[in-house]
Structure 1
Amino acid sequence: MNIATPRTTGTAEPEEVGSPPPVALREADSPAPKNAATSALSPRLAIGLVGMLLSSLLAIVNEQVTAVALTDIRGALSIGHDDGTWLTALFEAANVTTMVFAPWFAMTLTLKRFTIGAVVATMVFGFLCPLAPNLPTLYVLRVLQGIAGGCLPPMLIIAALRYLPPKIKLYGLAGYALTATFGPALGIPLAALWTEYVNWRMTFWQIVPLGLLSCIAIQQGLPVEPLKLERFKSFNWSGFVTGCPAVAMLVIGLLQGDRLDWLNSGFIRVMLGGGALLLIAFIVNEWFHPLPFFGLRLLGRRNFTHGLLTLAGAVILLTGIAVIPSQYLAKVHGYRPLQTTPLALLVALPLLIALPLTAAVLNIQRIDRRWILAVGISLMGVTCFMGSFMTSEWVRDNFYWLQSLQIAAQPMVILSILMGVTGGLAPTDGPFASAMFNTVKVFAGVMATSLIEGLGTARQHFHSSMLVDRLGNSALITAQSVGEDHGLLAALAHRIHEQSVVLTSADLYRVMGCIAIALLLLVPVLPTRIYPPWCTTPPLPADR
């Protein structure tokens, strides 16, 4: 792989050296605290940042655990399958939509107050969800919790860019990567713990202790800043009015598409078509508005654009690599979350060590993060390639060696992306970068779910039809023998279903492998060389 190494100064990209940020970007946010990025990290501020990490982890864990335990929640509340899908769709729509606008409100109401308020709201609505007297009330509570929870992940990147000294900034980004890798992996183990051994209500109430701890840490650690309520006078109403329904409609359309047969449904056509038109209007407004929610001019940075593209593909890969084995084990072998837990913990627990180690490697001046990114994507591709050879005889043990590659792959990919996206950004650019980064990350997760469900259904129908057709042409089985033995008919139906699930899972692995190859091809083309945040001068040519 021939990766060019242009001359740079520090972490800025070549085309950006000496260029000031656009006026809209400079005016949109308050300046970072004086010397916040260059001074040493005090113990008190470290406590506050840990609180920010816990709040972000709280939001991710809440989302994942309730999604995994949805079957038990529906059973406990006597909710049908179709009604239950709206619990997820409405929550995700509110969650993704909020991430677009949360950084603006955080800068207006201050990072400390806004984060504590969002954590408290997430806890309160989560506590009330199992106590809802009826389904409409539960829908409203889940939407409100989605709004509150969506405010939290973007705050972590803003805090990391604002307060972390250059020497340890990558370790702070590793904390954010923890929420993108370790947090989702905890969904299955915690859902199994609460539903199997405690009470299904704990899938909602589990966030309360963690939320209280994060609020105390944030209150004690982060500095107090003045409110900037005057910013509401120039509030971007046109962006808000077009952006909110655009994102919500697209998310609902994607999550309900498979159930309602996609474009054969008028509702889905309205959701996707209307959402796309409103999204175009939102993007045009953001480009020209003096105080936007999205800093679209940041896309002029090659590393930032590449980071968002790679992030979207990486999230789809991470979702697929996690979901395909669990769905296969559940459909073919009847695994519940408790039986799938060891597979999730195999990846989750080592990440606590792998993430800081990867950050330490990327913090070395001689290391080119593009090579780390390429190796990580390659490992993901190898995982998909090996998974495509699965058979109906595979059980949980067969996935151990396959999933173990993710222990190294996930930190390499996520941290390399974060390093590229945040490299050269000023603290005042943090809210714009955070809004775009987190929105792309969560929306890509929705797209991954939609892709797996939609493509999985289509391929399973295809393979079922092909297997039945081959069976009907087989001379070994006659209609008379099947009619005389109902047990044989049931066994054949089970076998056809089993094989169609296996073939579909293998197809999904192949699709994920193609996405990995596409991401790998971008590495030598789009991103430029950047150095760790602590570097003030590039290395000598002999060091490159």
Structure 2
Amino acid sequence: MNGQPAAAPVPHPFTLRLALGLVGVLIAALTSGLNDRVSDIALADVRAALGISYDQGSWVIAVYQAAEVATMMIAPWFAVTFSLRRFAIGVSVGFAVTGALLPFAPDFNTVIALRVLQGIFGGALPPLLMTVALRFLPPPIKLFGLSAYALTATFGPNMAASLAAFWTDSVGWQFVFWQVIPPMLVAGVLIGWGLPQDPTRFERFKQIDLFGMLTGCSGMALLIMTLAQGERLDWLNSPLICAMLLSSLALLLVFFINEWFHPLPLFKLQLLARRNQAHGLLVLAGVLTVALSGSALPSAYFAQVEGFRTVQFAPLALTIGLPQLIIAPLVAALLNLRWIDCRWMLSLGAALMAGSCLMGAQLTSDWARENFWMIQIMQAFGQPMMIVSVLMSATSVVLPPEGPFASAMFNTVRGFSSVAAGTLVECFLSHRQQFHSHTLLDQAANRPWLMTADSAASASRSAPLLPDGSISSVENIGHFSTLVKQQSVVLSISDSYLMLIGFATLLVLLTVWLPKRVWPPQTLIQPVTHTPRT
């Protein structure tokens, strides 16, 4: 082998059988994403049932995410080597088995071990969806396949809150893990029946990038755990965080140097010289960050200000999640029209996201669920418009033999960005809440008249009366402190919406400057690398 990508395999005719095989891969990938978010949301119930402390519970989430993202780096390589069908069936079965065993874990160490295994199997599934879409779908429907991949970022995460509430409130906490078993069994059957069986390519082990696998996966796993645990352990004030961060950066630096020169790398970094590919990775990270304005911020408001449980605000997330089944294919159909430029579709989606954030920035403590409906509807259209457009632009410069490289890079960026974006918003909310809380308390202490008659009355109405009919000053102060805390949360969420407007604006500027015009796959235009800028 000379280290160059193999010639593209002979295309398989697109039949109903193959289509059902692709549906199986889609079900598996969506189930993987749902499991990650559902177990995160239902963590408190799981901790209580398994007797795990808060600190231990944070590691249950961290190790899963670390194993998941690290596996995304290597899954396409192993899928090509062992064949797509065998590899997909194997990881689907492994994912279901670990989910079945988790509720029976006898101790914390067993829980951690099973979560790492489940993260490895779960992280291998989303890259397979992009790989099969790029390989098996004929040009006229390729964008519909990419819109199905976009569902893993738009549909799954927004369905998780409702599922988590349903399992924990109505069925049983065990189903937080057992929920994966039925869909994975269906996915395994469809994959085994529908996907064609490629020959194995064990000769690739002669050029295996073992050094890259060790340095890249280790570095990414350590970086993910640093992000997941940083706020809890006070970042650089923690020796553990410092050690993990420095080790991860050193390992990833060595990994990227190795990938540039290796004859059969995991990441083909030379693809970044293609402007659309570089733009796609940058914008994908930005979209996942801005998308938190439709999930994390409303959840924070209702949980911390209104005191709602998950089941009470889960319908808001459904407003974004369920319409994706229609909106994502609709966006793909529009982008299949030659006269529609995906750059402007992306920019329009970013404008909708920025507009929804601008509305959210007007948040007050009087808002109810009805105030969020228009914000969520704008998000429901904006998210798929951006993600499907990014996928169309970036994959247009990828040749069929380069599909596994693109899949590894895209999914690793997607997995890392989801964790990093969540950490960014969480830290921003926390620090802005502290800032506003201190500011409000300082102003109240220095200028007592700022405690208005309305806030005093609010505190008085809810404060209990003493036997002589007077109001306890201690209770009054306590209720005033609660009002300050609620107001600081509202202001911090408003600030977060404004921050995300900045991200959306940056994405538009990148789209205007960096990518070149591309056309739908079926139009047979010359590759974008040779097309003049329009």
Which amino acid letter does the alignment assign opposite residue 473 of structure 1? Answer: N
TM superposition shift of 1:25:
4.5
- Give 1:68's aligned residue: 41
Match among 154, 179, 183 for residue 127 of structure 2: 154
Identify the residue that residue 490 of structure 2 maps to in structure 1.
502
Give the aligned partner of residue 220 of structure 2: 247
The corresponding residue for 1:346 is: 319
Once the two structures are TM-superposed, the CA of residue 286 in structure 1 deviates from its matched residue by 0.2
Other-structure match for 2:284: 311
How far, CA to CA, are the matches of 1:111 and 1:531 in structure 2? Answer: 29
Cα deviation, 1:317-373, whole Å, max 9, x if unaligned, reads 112431011011101111111111210111111111111111000000111110100
1:440 has 2:413 as partner: yes
Q: Are 2:295 and 1:322 equivalent residues in the alignment? A: yes
Aligned pair 1:275/2:248, yes or no? yes
Partner of 1:173: 146
Alpha-carbon separation, structure 2, partners of 1:148 and 1:524: 38
Match of 1:489 in 2: 477
Supply the distance in 2 between the matched residues of 1:314 and 1:25 (Cα, whole angstroms).
Answer: 33
- Deviation string, structure 1 residues 147-199 (Cα, Å, up to 9, x no partner): 01000000011101111000100011111111111011110011111111111
Partner Cα separation in structure 2 for residue 24 and residue 471 of structure 1: 69
**Residues 379-434 of structure 1, C-alpha deviations (whole Å, 9 max, x = no match):** 11111111111011112221111111012101100100000111132221110000
Aligned: 1:34 with 2:34: no
Structure 1 partner of 2:233: 260
Shift, 1:23, TM fit: 6.6
> RMSD value over aligned CA atoms?
1.9
- Write out per-residue CA displacement over residues 4-52 of structure 1, whole angstroms, 9 at most, x where no aligned residue: xxxxxxxxxxxxxxxxxx974514xxx443133xx4x111111111111
Identity percentage of aligned residues: 47
- 1:460 is aligned to 433
Deviation of 1:138 (Å): 0.3
- Aligned residue in 1 for 2:357: 384
- Cα deviation for residue 230 of structure 1 reads 2.0
CA contact (8 A) 1:320 1:448 kept: no
1:538 CA drift (Å): 7.0
Q: Deviations over 1:191-239 (max 9, x none)?
A: 1111111111111001111000000000000111121122112211211
5 Å-filtered alignment, 1:52-451, equals 52-451=25-424
Change (3 A) 1:180 1:25: farther
Question: For the residues of structure 2 that align with 1:139 and 1:238, how far apart are their CA atoms?
Answer: 26
Structure 1 residue 240: Cα displacement: 1.4
The 8 Å contact of residues 22 and 132 in structure 2, kept in 1 or not, is answered as yes
Displacement after TM superposition at 1:73 (Å)? 1.0
Structure 1 segments of 4 or more deviating over 6 A?
none
- Residue 524 of structure 1 aligns to a residue in which SS? helix
Superposed CA offset, 1:488-514 (max 9, x none): 011011111101111111111111111
Change (3 A) 1:509 1:211: same
Aligned-partner SS, 2:522: coil
- In structure 2, the CA distance between the partners of 1:23 and 1:395, relative to structure 1 (3 Å rule), is farther
| RCO comparison, higher one (Cα < 8 Å, 6+) | 1
Q: Which amino acid aligns with 2:487?
A: Q
Show structure 1 runs of 5+ residues with no match: 1-21
Instruction: Select which of 484, 487, 512 maps to 1:524.
Output: 512
Give the structure-2-normalised TM-score: 0.93
